């Protein structure tokens, strides 16, 4: 956007299915790839970037979304402050709802630590 200087991107990411094989016995979970849509807004003038991601796979059973903000640290302009919020909800999988939510939460927390 030439008037604001903000660079907007929207893309689809293909991720390998990381659900454990034991849970893939359920046919709907037995897919090789998971698709995510990511939108980002980069503001070079304010030195920040916002990102929103949501899952496109299994939308009839699960909702997974994440929002991240990267901005210049007030302590040191060479540092980056990073904040992230996420939401996971699984419905329509019966007794597996809780198991799948716990797995997704654990997997995403590992990613955040990295």
Q: Please state, in angstroms and rounded to a whole number, the distance separating the CA atoms of residues 25 and 44.
A: 47
Segment 79-98 shows an average pLDDT of 81
Convert the pLDDT of each residue in 24-59 to its tens digit: 777 777 888 989 999 999 999 999 999 999 989 888
Q: What is the CA radius of gyration of the chain?
A: 17
Model confidence at 70, pLDDT cuts 50, 70, 90, reads very high
Q: What pTM does this model have?
A: 0.73
Cβ atoms of 86 and 65 within 8 Å: the answer is: yes
Convert the pLDDT of each residue in 71-82 to its tens digit: 999 999 999 999
What tokens appear for 37 in the block? 């849509």
pLDDT (0 to 100) of residue 82:
92
Q: Please state, in angstroms and rounded to a whole number, the distance separating the CA atoms of residues 24 and 42.
A: 38
Q: Where are the domains of the chain?
A: 6-112
Cα distances (angstroms) measured from residue 96 to each of 19, 74, 114? 12, 44, 27
């Amino acid at each position: 956007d030439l008037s604001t200087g903000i660079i907007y991107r929207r893309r689809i990411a293909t991720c390998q299915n990381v659900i454990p094989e034991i849970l893939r016995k359920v046919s709907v979970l037995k897919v090789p790839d998971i698709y995510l849509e990511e939108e980002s807004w980069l503001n070079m003038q304010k030195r920040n970037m916002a990102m929103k991601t949501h899952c496109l796979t299994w939308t009839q059973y699960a909702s997974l979304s994440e929002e991240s903000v990267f901005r210049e640290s007030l302590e040191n302009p060479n540092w980056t402050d990073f904040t992230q919020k996420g939401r996971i909800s699984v419905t329509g999988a019966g007794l597996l709802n809780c198991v799948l939510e716990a797995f997704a939460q654990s997997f995403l927390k590992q990613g955040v630590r990295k």
